[in-house]
Amino acid sequence: MTTIYNGSKGPVEIATMAYRHLVSAHAKLIRDGLEKERAPEIAAMAARIAELDAEYAASQEAAAQAEPAPEPIDETGFGEVRAEVMF
C-alpha cells in the first residue's frame, strides 16, 4: 500500500498529514473522479482516516469514563434555592 500522497504542493507522507488536511485531500480525490488512477492513495488515506477516527473515539470513551457522574437533577425545580416567606 502506498504511503505517499501526491498533492499540489508535492509528495506528502500520509501518516504525517493533519487530520483536517487528510480528510480534505481524500474527499478531493474522490470528488475529482480519480478513484481508478489513484486508488492506492485513496485506500491508504481511507485506512489512516479510519485509524485516526478509532483513536479519537477511544480517547473520548476513556475521557467519559474518567469524568465523575453528573449530579442528580432536582425534580422539584427548586434546586438548592430555599427561602423563608414571612407574612
Q: Indicate whether 17 belongs to any domain.
A: yes
Which pLDDT score, from 0 to 100, does residue 19 have? Answer: 94
Q: Are 14 and 3 in contact (CB under 8 A)?
A: yes
Higher pLDDT, 2 or 77: 2
Which pLDDT score, from 0 to 100, does residue 1 have? Answer: 67
> Residue 23 burial (CB < 10 Å; 0-12/13-18/19+)?
middle
Please state the domain count of the chain.
1
Q: Indicate whether 55 belongs to any domain.
A: yes
Model confidence pLDDT, tens digit, residues 31-82: 998 888 899 999 999 999 999 999 999 888 888 787 777 777 767 666 566 6
Range of the domain at 41: 4-66
CA distance 34 to 23: 15
Exposure string over 49-84, b if 16+ CB within 10 A, otherwise e:
beeeeeeeeeeeeeeeeeeeeeeeeeeeeeeeeeee
C-alpha cell at 17: 498529514
